[in-house]
Every structure is written in structure tokens, then in C-alpha cells.
Amino acid sequence: MRWLIYLLMLWTGLAHGVGMGYDEARHLLVRTGFAPAESEIQLFARLTRQQAVDRVLSNTATEAHVAPPAWVAEPLPPRREIRSMEDEQRRMLFRELARKGFELRGWWYQEMIATPSPLTERMTLFWHNHFVSSLEKVKGAQLLYRQNVLLRQYALGNFGGLLHAIARDPAMVIYLDSASNRKGQPNENFAREVMELFTLGVGHYTEQDIKEAARAFTGWSLDRGSYEFRFYPFLHDGGVKTVLGRSGNLDGDEVLDVLLAQPATAEFVVTKLWREFVSQQPVPAEVKKLAGVFRTAHYEIKPVLRSLFLSDAFYAKENRASLIKSPVELLVGTVRQFHIEGLDPRLFALAGRQLGQDILAPPNVKGWPGGDDWINSTTLLGRKQIMARLFRAEEMPRKQVVLQMARNDRDERIAQRMENLSGGVVDVERFFAEFSGSESHRRTQAEKLLLAMPTSQPFNDEENASRIEFIRHLTLDPVYQLK
């Protein structure tokens, strides 16, 4: 049935002669996924913008495609048990927790590489950087896994539902110290961040609003044994609070609803979506229009993304090649694009850390700033080195590939402990098989697929170069870093 619907859509586009064309199709698929295949772009090129966007938004998921590590269901040791441990026992436990955290990062990379729904993973990563938690403080990888599952479940669902769920998420409760928020001794961390970073943005609330909201969230905590969310009524402040002009015996959920009722919340989230998918310079009038769509849809995420992806601004020439690929996009996109197989996915966790994006461990509660901040003298060199290593993996001893991508001592020790390492090989022939015609035409099409704009460094010896040398040249071009 799905193929029948698609063929009807395709026929409609062909009949009216209104296909979006190769360039727009490539732009849409690159911005909403991880490095599309040539065949995928050719199919989308025949569709109208509306048909293409609807197809992208319909091909989404709420669950991971790759099975997680077996230990994600294992219970965490109660905190009182950890406190009673001898120093050596505690060190061994923390080493084990670190190992699991590293394995969890590898699992998520594997999911992003293998997923049939790239937009789902892009949005899961987006929300991870919006509702920030970190293994550095939470420690328990099982809790970050559960949060990752939650973010994926709501990735393209309802923002209001996600906001209410994340407020109860055990990793978030630990990260923002909600468990220490109690009547008479309010902890304002969650109340502050839920306003500043999750909903309203700076300038749309007062310090008094934070103090009152913190009282509403008192009693939100965790069960000491299971780490499940638990509300303790005897720790809750049942007095009258006033938050953003609304007064009453407010609880945490009611405060979240007050925040969702503010127009600033929709505008704040849409501004971040604009920076993620369109450009680093949001257009205020367009943001307000999209925020109206968001609120009218009762914070359903797909309608606002649909409007965003159909907007003229999204396809505008000045917004093409205007965004820098995040380390995750660069690594995952390259592996998917060139069918690189056999590399331990934990290797990409090492590489991402080297390039400034250590997933599951953002630098602070504000997350990664993104944009131009992805590039500096260190990370630019690191990006070039990693691309060079990936495209000569077939020429190097397997373990050397891994150790060269692990730059500091800590990462190298982790890399050396990896078991059953295998070196990845770029399947250049499989990549070029997607193109037809002469060798020259195939290389022209490959460049058009890989680069968002013409190369900054023409390849003068293309006729005599092998295919792998040609691809290495393109992936080392600065333009390859753009989307």
C-alpha cells in the first residue's frame, strides 16, 4: 500500500511537471537526514516540495532500529550502597559505569548509521541538546539510555508531552538536582533551566517567577532503590504560588502548562529549529509565523517542521551551504554515504569527542552552541585528519586506524581495550555504482552529490587519479564541511 501511494504521488508530480529538481531534493534530504544516496535524491527530485516534505515526515519512527546493549535493563546500585563501598570498590564501579557510557555512545552512533529514519535521529539529537543531561553528572548509563528512548519517542511527537515527560525523567531529575528540592529548602536549578533553556528564553520571566516555580516542583524526586520518578507529598510546598501572573496552589505540571501557554515558548523553540535547519540568522517575522503554526497545532512538532521545510526561506540560495555540519553529522553522514563497514561504532564516539561533540555529555546545561562554534583551529585540523584516516583505512593496520583517531591518553586507553576491532573499508565501487555514463560524468555527479556548492580546490589531476583519490580530495575540501 505504501508503494502504491508513493507511485501515485510520483505520477502526480510527473503529470504536472512540477518536480522540485535535483538541487532542492538534495538540500531537503541533507538538512533532514545524514547524507542521502544518489538514487534517493533522484526519486525526490521528481516530487513536488509538498510531496517530498510529506514523504520525509511520514518516514519516521518512535523506537530505535538497533538493539541496545544487554545491560540497559540492569538495575543501578542504590546510592547508599555506593556510599558504603570501599574506595577500590567505588573506583571499579565508576570504571564500569564509564565503560557502559562509552558503549552506549557507540550504540547510538550505530543507530544513527543504520536507521531507516534519519530525521528521527536528527530530532532525537536536537532534543538531547535542548533538554540537556550528561553522563558526567548522572553517571548511570542506564538512565541516559532511558532518556534517549524518551527523546526518540517524542522526537516528532508533541512538545508539551515531551516537556512534561522530561521533567520526570530520572536522568534530568539527577542532572538538575530536583531530588534535593523540598519544602522549606527549595532548589531552583530545574525551575531556572526550564524557563531559560527549555521554554521561554532569557527576558521572559523574573527571578521571583523562578522562586515560585521551584516551590511548585518540591517533592519531585526519585525512588532510592529503583531510580524511578516518585512524588513525595510530605516534601511538597502546598502553599499559594504566583508564576507569570497565575496564582494558586500550583504543582509542577501546572507550572509547565503555564509556560506552554506563553507565546514566547513557541517562538523560543521555533528559533532553535530555524538555526538547526535553515540558517544561523532567524527572520523574526518568519519565526512568529511558524510559532503561530506551532501553537495552533497544540505543540505538535510535525506541523511546524512541515511549514518550515516548505518555506521559501528553507530553499533560498543564501541559505544553501550556510550551515556547518556537526561532528555527528560529518561522521555519520560519511559512513552512510560511502558504505563504510567494519569499524567499531565506539570509534566514532572517540572521534566525536575529539571534534567537540561528546554525545551524552554536552559541555554544560546550555548544550553545544553549534553553528560556527563547531570550527576552530583545533577541530578543523581534527576534521581533516579524521577524513584522511577514514579514506586510507584500507591501507593501514587495523589497530593503527583506531589508535590514530584516539588523540589523548584517556581515549587511547579506551581504544586499546576495544575487543574484536576490525578496520573499516570504503566501498568506492558501490558508491560509484549509483551513477551512470562516462567516468568523467560519474565524477561530476559524485561532486554534485557530496558538495553543497562547487569545490573550493579544483582537482587538476582528475583523469589520472583513482576513484579513491578523487573521493579523498572531495572529502578533504572545506566545502564538504558545509550543508
In degrees and rounded to multiples of 5, residue 475 shows phi and psi of -75, -20
Distance, in Å, from the CA atom of 286 to the CA atom of 294, rounded to the nearest integer, reads 12
Helix, strand, coil distribution of the chain in percent, nearest 5: 60, 5, 35
Which among 118, 127, 133 has a CA at the least distance from the CA of 157?
Answer: 127
DSSP letter string, 147-210: HHHHHHHHTTSBHHHHHHHHHT-HHHHHHTTGGG-BTTB---HHHHHIIIIIIS-TTSS-HHHH
Identify any residues that bridge with 230 across adjacent strands, giving them in sequence order.
221
Going by C-beta distance under 8 Å and a sequence separation of 6 or more, which residues neighbour residue 288?
267
Which among 141, 118, 177 has a CA at the least distance from the CA of 361?
Answer: 141
Residue with the three cell numbers 511527537: 157
Identify how many contiguous H helices and E strands the chain contains and give both numbers.
26, 4
Buried/exposed code over 291-300 (b: 16+ C-beta within 10 A; e: otherwise):
bbbbbebebb
Q: Where are the alpha helices (DSSP H) in 181-326?
A: 189-193, 207-216, 252-260, 263-277, 284-296, 301-310, 312-315
pLDDT by residue for the chain (483 residues), tens digit each?
Answer: 444 444 444 444 444 448 999 999 999 999 999 999 999 999 999 999 999 999 999 999 999 999 999 999 999 988 778 788 888 888 888 889 889 999 999 999 999 999 999 999 999 999 999 999 999 999 999 999 999 999 999 999 999 999 999 999 999 999 999 999 999 999 999 999 999 999 999 999 999 999 999 999 999 999 988 999 999 999 999 999 999 999 999 999 999 999 999 999 999 999 999 999 999 999 999 999 999 999 999 999 999 999 999 999 999 999 999 999 999 999 999 999 999 888 888 888 999 999 999 999 999 999 999 999 999 999 999 999 888 888 874 444 445 545 555 555 455 555 554 333 334 578 899 999 999 999 999 999 999 999 999 998 888 776 678 899 999 999 999 999 999
Report whether 482 contacts 453 (CB < 8 A): yes
Q: What is the pTM of this model?
A: 0.92
C-alpha neighbours within 13 Å on the C-beta side of residue 435? 19
Distance, in Å, from the CA atom of 256 to the CA atom of 350, rounded to the nearest integer, reads 37
Amino acid found at 116: P
Distance, in Å, from the CA atom of 456 to the CA atom of 479, rounded to the nearest integer, reads 7
